[in-house]
Structure 1
Amino acid sequence: MPGDRLTDEDRQHIAAGLAEGLGYTEIGRRLGRPASTIMREVTRNGGPDGYGAQRAQEATNQRARRRRQAKPPAPPVGDSSHGRDPQAVHDLTESFATLLEQQGMPRMAARVLACLYATDSGTLTAADLVQRLRVSPASISQTVAFLEQQGLLARERTPGGRRERYVVDDELWVRSTLAALRMNDTLITASQHAVEILGAATPAGARFGVAAEFLLLVNASLGQVMEQWQRNQADRNAGQQS
């Protein structure tokens, strides 16, 4: 079946097909397999000129043995404060990162941001992130630079130390929305200029005109949301001081 692993017999058919000069697509068709499966099998086992069924089967068996002998993954690092289940916190962080990734954020950026956001302090060092996410320090450094550029986190020095720590706060989504407003303003200006160049009565000009009209409505609505948020925050702060 297409979803099953290749068998020794399948590999013999692949070797015979290559000997006949058949392409991956035709070999895959005969075996009921995707051409990509055949290509990966051949590429990882000597290429079209060096592929051998027995050697490929032995290499596959060796890889399977190494996987079985590999050490089990370390338990997830989770926050056990407040009586929390570390595994539940880990699962929550992973699911939130997946959600951010589905919204268009790069995978590593989503994982770093979710990890920070799920901590009570909202701060972690590079070493903390390396330990929690099990990635290289270089990956953390590049990702932090991206998130900082987007205004989604800030850097600060640890008190009395030289190490940096990365910080998120309650205003993260506010800053993200403000960035979206600024980007929309830029798109609106560009779209209006395009209308002038292309002509409002032309199909292309009309398309830019519709875009500008829509983004103006979006920004007007977001502006009202931001004003309401600021009023809510002012009322909340006044209530805490009274």
Structure 2
Amino acid sequence: MPGGRLTDEERRTIAEGLAEGLGYGGIGRRLGRPASTVLREVTRNGGPEDYRADQAQESTRDRARRRRPERPPEPAAPDDGDGRDPRQLREFEEFFTALLERQGLPRMAARVLACLCVADSGAATAAELVGRLRVSPASVSSAVNFLEQQGMVRRERTPGERRERYVMGDDIWLRSALAALRMNEELIAATRRGVEVLGPATPAGARFDASAEFLLLMSEALHLVLERWNGRRGEEWGVGPPRRPPPGCAAPPGLREGARPPGAPEPQGNRPP
């Protein structure tokens, strides 16, 4: 039954699905359960390579015997009203957290960011995050510091109040793209330096040269995407010219005002996009 505990038979189905190479979504459809449930079960019991149905069943029994008295019901995520299903919201939040982890975010930073993402306000106080995630204030503080360094979260303070609010902002992926552009520019400079040091005629130098060419194309493509996005937002919101990058997230040198990345070739004729 969806939402209930997994049975021994369901765990065998999971093991068979993993052996067949099915993804979590495919296994979940077989069971009639969300993919996030399958993901948690497999992650908790050895991962996709070492998952064993009988061992998972025994581990579950052991955990049940050691389980502490039940805690109060988990508080709802900030701003998750409007008749939305709390269980579906929690499952999506867990799924999105796992996705952010696979993209490279540390576990706690992914949990905090996912919590902010599902909140209509995109914001929460430290106390709200501690209560929602059931972790220590120090864990939340470390995660917020990391996200702030990445430009994904900012701090705000309501006038007259001492408590800070951590705000995700609607431009989070724009900031991420700008950070990727900055990193790409640094990689282009480093690979070109590698060509100079190693010599373009050597195998290693040729490899660096090809890498620089590819990274340059990446910068061009990302810059065009940002230009198109800013133009679209200008049309939709009727604000005229494309918006400037958010404060603290200016585009890298050579990528402002429609300029091409350093060293980019001039456009030729009807060059395909």
- TM-score w.r.t. the length of structure 1 is 0.69
Distance 1:202 1:174, change over 3 A: same
Segments of structure 2 that go 5 or more residues without pairing to the other structure are: 1-61, 240-273
Distance 1:65 1:83, change over 3 A: closer
- 1:204-229, CA deviations, whole angstroms, 9 ceiling, x for partnerless residues? 11121121111111110011000000
Hey, what does 2:190 align to over in structure 1? 190
Q: Secondary structure at the match of 1:165?
A: strand
- 1:99-138, CA deviations, whole angstroms, 9 ceiling, x for partnerless residues? 0101111111111001001100011000111011111100
Confirm or deny that 1:76 pairs with 2:101: no
Distance 1:190 1:83, change over 3 A: same
Q: Secondary structure at the match of 1:206?
A: helix
Distance 1:207 1:163, change over 3 A: same
1:79-118 map, 5 Å: 79=77, 80-118=80-118
* Alpha-carbon separation, structure 2, partners of 1:64 and 1:81: 33
Hey, what does 2:151 align to over in structure 1? 151
Q: 1:157 Cα shift?
A: 0.8
Amino acid at match of 1:227: E
* Alpha-carbon separation, structure 2, partners of 1:177 and 1:73: 41
Q: Secondary structure at the match of 1:81?
A: coil
C-alpha contact 1:78 1:87 (8 A) present in aligned 2: no
C-alpha contact 1:76 1:87 (8 A) present in aligned 2: no
Segments of structure 1 that go 5 or more residues without pairing to the other structure are: 1-62
Amino acid at match of 2:73: P
* Alpha-carbon separation, structure 1, partners of 2:236 and 2:135: 40
C-alpha contact 1:156 1:164 (8 A) present in aligned 2: yes
Hey, what does 2:206 align to over in structure 1? 206
% same residue:
56
C-alpha contact 1:124 1:166 (8 A) present in aligned 2: yes
Confirm or deny that 1:171 pairs with 2:189: no
* Alpha-carbon separation, structure 1, partners of 2:70 and 2:102: 29
1:8-23 map, 5 Å: none
* Alpha-carbon separation, structure 2, partners of 1:203 and 1:76: 58
Q: Secondary structure at the match of 1:82?
A: coil
- 1:24-45, CA deviations, whole angstroms, 9 ceiling, x for partnerless residues? xxxxxxxxxxxxxxxxxxxxxx
Amino acid at match of 1:90: R
Q: 1:89 Cα shift?
A: 1.1
Q: 1:65 Cα shift?
A: 8.0
* Corresponding pairs, count: 180
CA RMSD of aligned residues (A): 2.3
Q: 1:158 Cα shift?
A: 2.6
Q: Secondary structure at the match of 1:169?
A: coil
* Alpha-carbon separation, structure 1, partners of 2:211 and 2:143: 32
* Alpha-carbon separation, structure 2, partners of 1:168 and 1:101: 17
* Alpha-carbon separation, structure 1, partners of 2:132 and 2:115: 8
Q: 1:78 Cα shift?
A: 2.5
User: Which stretch shows the higher mean deviation, 201-210 or 75-84?
Assistant: 75-84
Q: Secondary structure at the match of 2:82?
A: helix
